Amino acid sequence: MSAEPTAMEAHAKAEEQARSARGAAEALQVGLLGSGTVGKAFAQLLSEREDAIASLTGRRPSVCGTLTRSSGDFKEILASCEVMIELIGGIEPARSYVLEAMRAGKHVVTANKQLLCEHGEELFDAASENGVMLRFEAAVAGVVPVIRVLTESLAGVEVKRIHGIVNGTTNFVLSAMERGADYEHALAEAQANGYAEADPHEDVSGADAAAKMAILARLAFGTPVRLTDVCYEGIEHLISDDLQYARELGLGLKLIGTAERMQGGLSVRVHPAFLYGGHPLASVGGQFNAVTVEADCITEITMSGPGAGGPQTASAVLGDLMSVMSAAEGSSPPPAPPRQPLPLLTDTDSAFYLHMEVADQRGALVAVASVLDRWGASVKSVLQRGLGENARLVMVTHPLSEASLRAAVAEIGELEFVRSPPRAIRVIEEEFA
Amino acid sequence: MSAEPTAMEAHAKAEEQARSARGAAEALQVGLLGSGTVGKAFAQLLSEREDAIASLTGRRPSVCGTLTRSSGDFKEILASCEVMIELIGGIEPARSYVLEAMRAGKHVVTANKQLLCEHGEELFDAASENGVMLRFEAAVAGVVPVIRVLTESLAGVEVKRIHGIVNGTTNFVLSAMERGADYEHALAEAQANGYAEADPHEDVSGADAAAKMAILARLAFGTPVRLTDVCYEGIEHLISDDLQYARELGLGLKLIGTAERMQGGLSVRVHPAFLYGGHPLASVGGQFNAVTVEADCITEITMSGPGAGGPQTASAVLGDLMSVMSAAEGSSPPPAPPRQPLPLLTDTDSAFYLHMEVADQRGALVAVASVLDRWGASVKSVLQRGLGENARLVMVTHPLSEASLRAAVAEIGELEFVRSPPRAIRVIEEEFA
């Protein structure tokens, strides 16, 4: 055997080879729709990484044209690109551009969760009919590769349940509230740090998370799910006390999206929920996102990372562009999951945490428990703590329907010795109780 | 617009389409080498999921032959299969079988970390020369999709650092020690639960984790790394006290693998390390594995899940098989990362935690600090606590080389008032101090 080259010689040789590969790399024209935070970050990342991509793939991507509000021409960009990247957001004109690009035989990469959520089937069909690829990793959980893992690594697995923290704004606000801030201050802090919009409604109402869970549910369960199919509840009604009690009990309180095969159907929902301390999502703080996928044969996989941010989202878009580039010329797109729609369930059973203040008098606990019992809610654990003349009563129920729970809560609120109406929050997993 | 079908009608129609797609699905012959825990679990999972896979991909995979110690003929299996799955483990005969399969134009899926670690370049070259795909997700961190995410989602990203808990046996043992068990009992518990081999040496010595980190480093940094290039240290010398102190300080103690671009080179190492409480790997308990990937443009992504187990590992193998199946006919394999080898570093600087018992007398602290200072170790934080006549002295240093640290520790051990030789453990991130 001849002497092996030293690491430095090997390095020099490899650099030389890479240089010549880059020189020979054929150009790949990329059309860019949108020039906001993510659009700008993507253009910059692509120019920083084009040498590395050229040596890895043999093709050198570059932006052949950018459409902004005030400049660029869609038809010209369409004619000159091989891959179209849509970072405009919203339904129109994004939908028309994306459909037109696919009909013209261009692969499409998009970060547009609304478009995927509301027009997913139309887009998947267009991709399939025109033999082009449609990628959208950045539409859910930013740089966290949940779309690829669900549709590729886990394509052969029967997914049982997905839990996700898929909105960074609300997770940031809840983390600040856990440290003692009230909702308004926490939201203002999120806005000051660029983690919340001036109008935060879409995030704090749970609608943004619901759209993302609809996309994940579509992929994991082959069922078309739109925003109107998702039961969602936001964080506006939470108070700092809820998080403090949670902490005392060793629980995290998060805005959790769930997509779950159950009772022969599919439940997709978003709501604040208590998680026991060891839950993989309980330690996800600040603006991070995380998704847990459960199936019998995998137990569970959890993925976490930044859910937003220009460079982070741009990285997910770049991963999709490279995925398109590395697929063989003339190959057909990987099939979308077959549609075997499950019926969508609305009122699913959950365990609930109830918290109320009552006059510290005999019979209070029994009276509350009787109301719950009448509505079919059996009590799993109780904690009563004196507060001078009053007492704080905390209960965790076994699973019951939201309708029954709401009825019981209304009735408890009418009891004469109840000082404040009960606060009810769902509990995910009951291991702590 | 005509009335939309109801969900139940759509479901029935989709089931009908899926049935006919399954009926029409062309067979895909899979050769299976090995029939141990993972081999058996894979054969079972494949037969459970073949209908779903047929309707998703249009092809129905089935095992055309299995090679065990006592039955099956490799040549026959090779002749009849399109994809070869190697679950024998170890270097030979696995290496010869895999190379022969690729030379015969068969795609290969393997879970063999030793083979990838020691013969990675030979295998990548053979795949490339023969135009076949080589997949090995299950070789590192079981069902956690770290290989796919590194080589696909993050292919365009310049990775800065990877931290991983990639050995479930040691993580299980450390979790048990954190709950108070001593090393021997914790190991016995792991063995009783099937999480440790009768001969646990490869796991507890850090060698298994080192082989896996070598594979990840190869993929993330384009640098051939073999087991002998990895500095590794195991968990045999840890005592339960180390974990108790860690807990008191709000730290986790884990066996951490690191692959890191630094000082113009690459450092790959495995050693026990303290992690501050908020580190994404600090909360990974039991037999779970987890990997964190850092790069400027992504901040960090963390993935976790079961690192071993028959069905879990089989799921990762199935994901690879489907990846091979969904790649287009006649497509070329995705290129391996180009080799641009970085020089491998050995002695890298780390912060250290030092723990010793000293006589509770004036000057002890100053004397210890002076020795550290002489070896270039500046002290970042100190905690001294009385224990009757003695005192426990805990220090965290700023980063210094292991060689300097070992020299300083030896000298401190000679000091007259030191009651027990100092225990030194690396610290990852210093945020807690």
The whole-model pTM stands at 0.90
Contacts of A330 in chain B (CB under 8 A): 328
A15 to chain B: nearest residue by CA?
Answer: B340
Give Cβ neighbours of residue B216 (< 8 Å, ≥ 6 apart). Answer: B140, B146, B150, B162, B164, B166, B257, B259, B291
Of A297, A328, A338, the CB nearest to B311: A297
Angstrom distance (rounded) from CA B173 to CA B285: 10
Q: How many residues does chain A have?
A: 433
Answer whether A297's CB lies under 8 Å from B312's CB.
Answer: yes
Contacts of B335 in chain A (CB under 8 A): 56-58, 326
More confident residue, B409 or A243: B409
**Residue B387 in tokens:** 């224990």
Asked if A340 and B305 come within 8 Å (Cβ–Cβ), the reply is no
Task: Select from A286, A315, A302, A308 the least CA-distant residue to B303.
Answer: A302
Q: Is the pLDDT of residue B134 over 70?
A: yes
More confident residue, B335 or A227: A227
Q: How far is B234 from chain A (nearest CA, A)?
A: 26
Asked if A301 and B143 come within 8 Å (Cβ–Cβ), the reply is yes
Asked if B10 and A56 come within 8 Å (Cβ–Cβ), the reply is no
Contacts of A321 in chain B (CB under 8 A): 156
Angstrom distance (rounded) from CA A30 to CA A63: 5
Task: Select from B302, B279, B250, B288 the least CA-distant residue to B170.
Answer: B288
In B25-112, alpha helices (H): 37-57, 74-80, 94-103
What Rg do the C-alpha atoms of chain A give, in angstroms? Answer: 25
Bridge partners (DSSP) of residue B396 are B353, B381
A154 to chain B: nearest residue by CA?
Answer: B319
Asked if A341 and B7 come within 8 Å (Cβ–Cβ), the reply is yes
Which stretch of DSSP H or E encloses residue B69? none
Q: Is the pLDDT of residue B336 over 70?
A: no
Angstrom distance (rounded) from CA B25 to CA A73: 45
Residues 45-104 of A with CB under 8 A from B: 45, 49, 52-53, 55-58
Answer whether A117's CB lies under 8 Å from A224's CB.
Answer: no
Q: How many residues does chain B have?
A: 433
Asked if A305 and B302 come within 8 Å (Cβ–Cβ), the reply is yes
Which stretch of DSSP H or E encloses residue B379? strand B379-387
Q: How far is B242 from chain A (nearest CA, A)?
A: 22
**β-strand pairing of B251-262 with B159-165:** antiparallel
Asked if B326 and A155 come within 8 Å (Cβ–Cβ), the reply is yes
Mean pLDDT of B136-148: 95
Angle, helix B113-130 to helix B94-103, in steps of 10 degrees? 20
In order along chain A (433 residues), what is the average pLDDT of each group of 10 residues?
53 58 79 96 96 89 96 97 97 98 97 96 94 95 94 91 97 94 95 92 97 96 94 93 80 94 93 88 93 95 93 95 76 58 87 89 87 91 82 88 92 91 82 40
**Alpha carbon of residue A122 to chain centroid:** 22
Residues 264-283 of A with CB under 8 A from B: 278, 280, 283
CA count, 13 A, side-chain hemisphere, B143: 32
**The predicted structure's pLDDT at residue A164:** 97
- Spot the catalytic one: B113, B212, B254, B380: B212
**The predicted structure's pLDDT at residue A277:** 78
| Reported ipTM exceeds the 0.90 cut | no
Task: Select from A432, A280, A248, A241 the least CA-distant residue to A351.
Answer: A432
B328 to chain A: nearest residue by CA?
Answer: A331
Contacts of B155 in chain A (CB under 8 A): 56, 319, 322, 326
B147 to chain A: nearest residue by CA?
Answer: A153
Which stretch of DSSP H or E encloses residue B10? helix B7-24
A212 catalytically annotated: yes
**The predicted structure's pLDDT at residue B433:** 33
**Residue A428 in tokens:** 């995910």
Mutating which of A298, A304, A331, A431 best tests the B interface, going by the most B Cβ atoms within 10 A? A298
pLDDT tens-digit profile of B2-57? 445 555 565 566 556 555 555 578 999 999 999 999 999 999 999 999 999 998 88
Q: How far is B159 from chain A (nearest CA, A)?
A: 12
Angstrom distance (rounded) from CA A105 to CA B174: 54
- pLDDT grade, residue B384 (50/70/90)? confident
Of B10, B306, B316, the CB nearest to A341: B10
Tell me the CA distances in angstroms from A92 to A118, A119, A180, one per residue in order: 12, 11, 41
Contacts of B297 in chain A (CB under 8 A): 45, 311-312, 314-315
Residues 338-397 of A with CB under 8 A from B: 338-344
Count CB pairs under 8 A between chains A and B.
Answer: 216
Give Cβ neighbours of residue B308 (< 8 Å, ≥ 6 apart). Answer: B142, B168, B195, B287, B289
Answer whether B252's CB lies under 8 Å from B429's CB.
Answer: no
Bridge partners (DSSP) of residue B305 are B289
Contacts of A334 in chain B (CB under 8 A): 326
User: How many beta carbons lie within 10 A of that of residue B152, not counting itself?
Assistant: 21
**The predicted structure's pLDDT at residue B186:** 96
pLDDT tens-digit profile of B253-312? 999 999 999 988 999 999 999 998 788 898 899 999 999 999 999 999 999 999 888 999
Phi/psi-derived region of residue A206, left when phi > 0, alpha when psi is between -120 and 50, beta in every other case: left
Asked if A342 and B148 come within 8 Å (Cβ–Cβ), the reply is no
Contacts of A45 in chain B (CB under 8 A): 156, 297
B155 to chain A: nearest residue by CA?
Answer: A319
Angstrom distance (rounded) from CA B185 to CA B79: 49
Asked if B156 and A53 come within 8 Å (Cβ–Cβ), the reply is yes
What dihedral do alpha carbons B280, B285, B290, B291 form, nearest 10°?
40
- Spot the catalytic one: A106, A113, A212, A254: A212
Residues 301-330 of B with CB under 8 A from A: 301-306, 309, 311-312, 314-316, 318-319, 321-323, 326-328, 330
Contacts of B330 in chain A (CB under 8 A): 328
What dihedral do alpha carbons B22, B23, B28, B31 form, nearest 10°?
90
Which stretch of DSSP H or E encloses residue B30? strand B26-33
Asked if A328 and B327 come within 8 Å (Cβ–Cβ), the reply is yes
Whole-number percent of chain B with pLDDT over 90: 65
Q: For chain A, give the mean pLDDT.
A: 89
B42 to chain A: nearest residue by CA?
Answer: A297
Q: How far is B111 from chain A (nearest CA, A)?
A: 15
Helix (H, G, I), strand (E, B) or coil at B276: strand
Q: For chain B, give the mean pLDDT.
A: 89
Helix (H, G, I), strand (E, B) or coil at B366: helix
Angstrom distance (rounded) from CA A31 to CA A68: 12
Mean pLDDT of B148-163: 93
**β-strand pairing of B349-359 with B418-428:** antiparallel
